Amino acid sequence: MKCFYFFKGKKGQANSAPELRDQSKSNSPSPSRTAKSLPSPRSVPELYKEKEHNLRVFSFQELREATNGFNRLLKIGEGGFGSVYKGTVRPASGQGDPIVVAIKKLNNHGLQGHKQWLAEVQFLGIVSHPNLVKLLGYCSLDNERGIQRLLVYEYMPNRSLEDHLFKRGMPILSWRKRLEIILGAGEGLAYLHGGMEVQLWPWRVSLGPTGDRTHVSTAVVGTYGYAAPEYVETGHLTIHSDVWSFGVVLYEILTGRRTLERNRPVVEQKLLDWVKQFPVDSKRFSMIIDPRLANEYSFNSAKQIAKLADSCLKKNARERPAMTQVVESLKQILQDLGGSTSTNMNAESSQSSLFRRKQNKV
């Protein structure tokens, strides 16, 4: 479709500096200003124009060599948008040691089209936060064999939260470490929601594991179990939808369970339905806490995390807290945790934890 041809450049050549055609005319209608109104936030394309020189333009051959011909042994993630490979590239200066990177190759028949790929380049090209993966560059090639769209990110050697929580063979994340990680994620999301002072729509960033698992997804599609109810019903994604997704992840770090686990009994397969059976103020609440933590966690902070998750998961989107409020709550929980993570449980909760561990051995 012609509406997807947004790149300048001749056929068969690698394109530079991707830009949307007539961007100012269509995507984000600006509200009319009055004498008392604040200036409209700057759009993503406007900010991208100022920072596009920071992104490196790679040739397709360069990225092919970086991944040994997109070798399956170097594949570190795969989803509807395409595959992610671990690779090494030469520094832009041509001097120094090779740089380890993650290369996302768009599947031409996948869910993410050129427009979504372009949005990801422009959006990630302007964000800068220690808790957000950094986009280093991209490759865009059009020739007689079709189109090639690739993104080059910094490589995350420590892998994702999803890997540490759910993959076998990984060390068990301590309670404190889980809280520190989720605080960092919350700070990154709060930055995206407010600190940038730009128009984010339609450059939304969804929280929660995706097919690519190690990288941010900007496409307006949902991973099952993480999508807010209003998004499922209307297809409209807002910052309130992100808060819902964050609430799901809070329950994941608390329980050590995925949002959907089909290998469990029917009543336990859907995480959010299952945890409703164990309200935070009930005597059975401790039954949902990840048994791998044993007694090495604070019962009081676990309850606080559950209450925070519940506030993020309110059905009425406008009743959910802002991410800045979520971050402040997480900071307070960590501060209250102090130097101890394991001695605040009462006798009842200790017995429940022991019961759960015995259950898992049966």
List CB contacts of 83: < 8 A, sequence separation 6 or more: 70, 75, 77, 104, 105, 107
| Distance between start and end Cα atoms, the chain | 57
Q: Which amino acid is at 109?
A: H
Structure tokens at 263: 């290998």
Q: Which residues pair with 149 in a beta bridge?
A: 140
105 in a labelled binding site: yes
Cis peptide before 202 (omega within 30 of 0): yes
110/129 Cα distance (integer angstroms): 29
Contacts of 297 (CB under 8 A, 6+ apart): 175, 289, 341, 342, 345
Give the H/E segment covering residue 150: strand 146-154
Sorted by sequence, the CB contacts under 8 Å of residue 49 that are 6+ apart come out as 19
Nearest CA to 246 out of 190, 173, 302, 319 is that of: 190
Identity at 322, one-letter amino acid code: A
Q: Give the containing element (helix H, strand E) for 22.
A: none
Determine the distance from the C-alpha atom of residue 169 to the mean position of all C-alpha atoms in its chain, rounded to a whole number: 23
Buried b (16+ CB within 10 A) or exposed e, 68-104: eebeeebebbbbbbbbbbbbbbeeeeeeeeebebbbb
- Contact call for residues 291 and 356 (beta carbons, < 8 A): yes
List all residues 6 or more positions away from 143 whose beta carbon is below 8 Å from its beta carbon.
Answer: 11, 12
**Cα-flanking dihedrals φ and ψ of residue 359, to 5°?**
-60, -45
- Cα angle: 76, vertex 167, 300; to 5 degrees: 130
* Cα–Cα distance for residue pair 237/226, rounded to 1 Å: 12
C-alpha span between 156 and 213 (Å, rounded): 11
Residue set of the binding site for ATP? 105
The binding site comprises 105
